[in-house]
Amino acid sequence: MKKAIIFKPSKSAMQSGLKKYNKWIIEFLVDEPGINPLMGWETSTDTYSELKLEFSSKELAIEYAKKNKIDFEIVESQKRKIVKKSYADNFTK
């Protein structure tokens, strides 16, 4: 039975928008990655390691995993803290 994680990706620090980050992803875990002898890169013979499935909601991702008998772990994303401050706060210390 395959193991997978279900998560909602977070944006990188170089991006300000959140448009692409409203999907939930199932990513399969690889048990034993190896080293490619030619290039020295990490590799695996398991093609599931290359697969990422996108879903519009967490419930759909969980339903898919249960339907296909995939062991899964849900990784919840942290809530974003928005600190409202004034531009004048930069100069009033």
Give 3-23 pLDDT, tens digit per residue. Answer: 999 999 887 778 777 777 789
The pTM is what?
0.72
Structural domain that includes position 46: 1-8+22-30+41-93
Instruction: Dump pLDDT digits (tens) for 49-73.
Output: 888 999 999 999 999 999 999 999 9
- Quote the CA–CA distance of 48 and 67 in Å, as a whole number: 17
Instruction: Count CB neighbours of 27 within 10 A.
Output: 17
Domain with 66 in it: what CATH number? Answer: 3.30.160
The tally of domains found in the chain comes to 1
Instruction: Write the DSSP string, the chain.
Output: --EEEEE-PPPPTT----TT---EEEEEPPS--EE-TTT--EE-S-GGGG-EEEESSHHHHHHHHHHTT-EEEEEPPPPPP-----GGGGT--
